[in-house]
Amino acid sequence: MVVGQEEGIDATGIRSYSETGGIAEVRPAPDGTHLIVRAVVRGQMTLLLLYANGEERRVVIIVR
Contact 59, 10 (CB under 8 A): no
pLDDT of residue 21: 81
Q: C-alpha 3: how far from its chain's center?
A: 15
pLDDT of residue 50: 98
pLDDT in tens, 12-64: 999 999 998 889 999 999 999 999 999 999 999 999 999 999 999 999 999 99
